[in-house]
Chains A and B, each alone.
Chain A
Amino acid sequence: MSEIKKVKNLKEFSTSADRFEGANLLCPGCAHSIIVREVLNATNNDLILSASTGCLEVCTAVYPYTSWDASWIHIGFENGSTAVAGAETMYKALKKKGRLKQPEREPKFVSFAGDGASYDIGFQWISGCMERGHNIMHVVLDNEVYANTGGQRSSSTPIGSSATTSPAGRVSYGEKKNKKDMIAIMAAHQIPYAAQVAPNKWKDMVKKIQHGMAVDGPVFINAISPCTTEWKFDPKDTMHIADLATDSLVFPLYEIIDNHELNITYRPKNVIPVEEYLAAQGRFKHLFKDEYKYLIKEWQERVDEKWAYLNRREEARV
């Protein structure tokens, strides 16, 4: 059976043998590399990985270099999930036929993709993979924007964020639509495990990744990935921004088991106002003009409402 890694403390975790090298081209302060390392370091199993076109892909496999010490594939923007699903299908076929080169090893299949590649262009492919029950994990590096192409809005971009295709201007407060609830949609595929994680809560992350790797069937993970470039904060503040996201409950951490059992996995001791989260990022700067302050109030109401909903669901076990 699968050998799940024992993770004792942060030092051990952060110094374990890396299958994702520090030699990559991601921006200083980018959360992607932190999340990827946290996912990979959660297991000792062999890994078959994919990345959809996006920041992670273009920054980690520029010929003749690679940052990956595990087998890795990139096909296109929309089909990274199907790429590992295809590999997983081949694994099953060769296992059945007795043709695996190392039959005793049990690989885990993980696809990484941005929110654009998951919520938008790759939505159908991920839905197909979830519905068919492939034994894969899809991890969204959710920076709420098309960062690789320079900051266009995706269906993960939250209301009021200034993106390059929904810029704030003299008569606009930026993005007009609220973020798509991807976890609920994925959980509705009756998959065994869906969870939201954040890089700052690494123990919670490791626990969830290990849970996801232990279950049989498709797993969906949404990881918030603060983007220094598009969210407009100082590269040294990535973890601080992540803390603000989780502690303001803008990005609540929870898991859904079998689309039935919802567990809130992190309850901040001191919940901070949403306003503090927004104020720390340039993409929301314009919301602090007098005429848009009502949007901040609405943000807070939305976050409170969602938190109450999650609590009700946790209690009701439905």
Chain B
Amino acid sequence: MAFDKMELQKIEVWDGNFAAAQALRQCQIDVVAAYPITPSTPIVEGYAKFLSDNYIEGEFVMVESEHAAMSGCVGAAAAGGRVATATSSQGFALMVEVLYQASGMRLPIVLNVVNRALAAPLNVNGDHSDMYLGRDSGWIQLDAFAPQEAYDLNFIAFKVAEDHDIRLPAMVHQDGFMTSHTAQGVYTLTDDEAYGFVGEYKPMNDMLDFEHPVTHGVQSEEDWHFEHKARQHNDLMTKVFPKIQAAFDAFEKLSGRKYNIVEKYDMNDADVCVVCMGTSVETAREVATEMREKGIKAGVVGLRVIRPFPFFEIAEALKDVKAIAALDRSSPNGAPGMLFNEIAGALFNTDKRALLSGYVYGLGGRDLTKAHLVSLYTELQANVDAGKVTTQLQQFIGVRGPKLAFL
């Protein structure tokens, strides 16, 4: 009956997918309903194997589509237990209808999203198009830059999502292939430490409590719909960050690893900085260090939390820089990039508004090279020197053909 625990090395060599699968095993999910899609498939394959080898006591259902995967997750979560799944790209897009239903019904499901481009043209590689597609869905979105973080953030996600003051689903993002299929050293928690951190699932409004029948997923028209949506937004805006911070603090105590809502690198005296997400953060950090050797005071801001958007934390992090580049790894298709817009919004009413320019990069898995970042930082420094943005506000980097720039 009882399942077996797994003895882990202090440091394991895991890719992001396996790190996430291990985190799900350690959280002892009650139900996983999933459907395969590159590059997230190994997460649920790993989970299924753990189940077959008696390292898990829950149920795994391999359904017939991603829409059904999230539908099954919603039914299972409403029944009253810990629920998780994983997906990418087209699968994520197919899930979108149910993502809104999961959050509107306040069900704390954890979804590992291994970021990948959206067709057409079909592409299996990593960019942030799917991650951006989910940003209005009412979920908490956490972003891992490396396998270690894909592991750790799953524990944070359950801790925050299942908190009875929150009761909102959470996504843990990692970059397709660059994180999901790149093996690195990952510091582990023991099974007891990990489960102790997330704790036993505490049901609320669970359908399986037969003494207290509940109605989930009601109709509410113009008389109540607005209030329900407003309340959900209110909780995202006011309640989630304190809980994330508390979870980060508790996790640091347990593991020694410190996470921040906004991850700042060399920002204390930075003149120029890039704001980005995913694996690009590490590349930017390396280049920033090299730029400093060349006399350019460069910094990096990485978003650990995408939703809710860390409006004040971003403004605070950027208050002393002179030029900022917002890096969007998703085609805005007819607008400035999302990060550009949101950073502009965060800075607009502050005293010191740095020069802000936007860059679109890395679509469909195109590499963001160090050389790209060197010229980008150099452009930012030129902006600082000129006291104005010297380029167009939106530039595509790393794309073949004539230079593409807009606005």
- Say whether B210 contacts A107, CB under 8 Å: yes
- Say whether A94 contacts B218, CB under 8 Å: no
Nearest B residue to A97 via CB reads B57
Could you say which residues of chain A place their CB within 8 Å of the CB of B1? 96
What's the Cα separation between A125 and B65 when bound, in Å? 8
- Say whether B71 contacts A86, CB under 8 Å: yes
> Which of B76-84, B118-126, B260-268 participates in binding chain A?
B76-84
Evaluate whether A128 and B64 lie within 8 angstroms (CB atoms) in the complex, with A61-B217, A83-B71, A107-B208 already known: yes
Number of chain B interface residues as a range: 35 or more
- Say whether A89 contacts B210, CB under 8 Å: no
Whether a CB of chain A sits under 8 angstroms from the CB of B289 is no
- Say whether A102 contacts B217, CB under 8 Å: no
- Say whether A87 contacts B67, CB under 8 Å: no
Evaluate whether A76 and B75 lie within 8 angstroms (CB atoms) in the complex, with A89-B59, A101-B208 already known: no
Whether a CB of chain B sits under 8 angstroms from the CB of A69 is yes
CB distance from B222 to the nearest CB of A (A): 12
Could you say which residues of chain A place their CB within 8 Å of the CB of B79? 48, 86-87, 90-91, 94
Could you say which residues of chain B place their CB within 8 Å of the CB of A68? 213, 215
Could you say which residues of chain B place their CB within 8 Å of the CB of A100? 208
Contact partner, B78, options A64, A66, A87, A99, Cβ 8 Å: A87
CB distance from B271 to the nearest CB of A (A): 51
CB distance from A88 to the nearest CB of B (A): 8
- Say whether A96 contacts B71, CB under 8 Å: no
Could you say which residues of chain A place their CB within 8 Å of the CB of B286? none
What's the Cα separation between A99 and B202 when bound, in Å? 11
- Say whether B57 contacts A86, CB under 8 Å: no
Contact partner, A83, options B65, B75, B80, B210, Cβ 8 Å: B75
Which parts of A229-249 form the interface with B (CB within 8 Å)?
none
Could you say which residues of chain A place their CB within 8 Å of the CB of B220? 62-63
- Say whether B224 contacts A64, CB under 8 Å: yes
What's the Cα separation between A237 and B30 when bound, in Å? 49
Whether a CB of chain B sits under 8 angstroms from the CB of A159 is no
- Say whether B98 contacts A75, CB under 8 Å: yes
Whether a CB of chain B sits under 8 angstroms from the CB of A93 is yes
Contact partner, B217, options A73, A105, A131, A132, Cβ 8 Å: A73
- Say whether A85 contacts B215, CB under 8 Å: no
Could you say which residues of chain A place their CB within 8 Å of the CB of B101? 75-76
What's the Cα separation between A74 and B215 when bound, in Å? 8
Whether a CB of chain A sits under 8 angstroms from the CB of B385 is no
Which parts of A78-131 form the interface with B (CB within 8 Å)?
78-79, 82-94, 96-97, 99-102, 105, 107, 124-125, 127-128, 131
Whether a CB of chain A sits under 8 angstroms from the CB of B68 is yes
- Say whether B31 contacts A72, CB under 8 Å: no
CB distance from A102 to the nearest CB of B (A): 5
Whether a CB of chain B sits under 8 angstroms from the CB of A33 is no
B-contact 0/1 string along A41-67, CB 8 Å cutoff: 000001010100000011001111010
- Say whether B217 contacts A87, CB under 8 Å: no
- Say whether A62 contacts B75, CB under 8 Å: no
- Say whether A86 contacts B74, CB under 8 Å: yes
- Say whether B208 contacts A90, CB under 8 Å: yes
Whether a CB of chain A sits under 8 angstroms from the CB of B63 is yes
Evaluate whether A72 and B213 lie within 8 angstroms (CB atoms) in the complex, with A48-B207, A58-B219, A79-B67 already known: yes
What's the Cα separation between A48 and B210 when bound, in Å? 9
Whether a CB of chain A sits under 8 angstroms from the CB of B269 is no
- Say whether A82 contacts B72, CB under 8 Å: yes
Which parts of B1-60 form the interface with A (CB within 8 Å)?
1, 30-31, 33, 57-59
- Say whether A93 contacts B74, CB under 8 Å: no
Could you say which residues of chain A place their CB within 8 Å of the CB of B228? 63
Could you say which residues of chain B place their CB within 8 Å of the CB of A57? 219
Could you say which residues of chain B place their CB within 8 Å of the CB of A61? 215, 217-219
CB distance from A44 to the nearest CB of B (A): 12
Contact partner, B208, options A50, A76, A91, Cβ 8 Å: A91
Could you say which residues of chain B place their CB within 8 Å of the CB of A89? 31, 33, 59, 61, 72, 75-76
Given known contacts A90-B208, A100-B208, A124-B65, what 19 new A-B pairs fall within 8 Å (CB)? Answer: A71-B210, A72-B213, A73-B215, A74-B217, A75-B101, A83-B72, A86-B31, A86-B73, A90-B30, A90-B75, A90-B77, A90-B81, A97-B57, A101-B206, A125-B64, A125-B68, A127-B64, A128-B65, A132-B61
A-B pairs with beta carbons under 8 Å apart, 20 shown: A46-B210, A58-B219, A63-B218, A68-B215, A69-B213, A71-B215, A71-B216, A72-B213, A72-B216, A74-B216, A82-B72, A83-B75, A90-B30, A90-B79, A92-B59, A93-B59, A99-B81, A101-B209, A101-B211, A132-B63
Closest 3 CB pairs of A and B: A86-B75, A71-B207, A90-B79
Chain B residues with CB under 8 Å of chain A are 1, 30-31, 33, 57-59, 61, 63-65, 67-68, 71-81, 83, 97-98, 101, 105, 206-211, 213-221, 224, 228
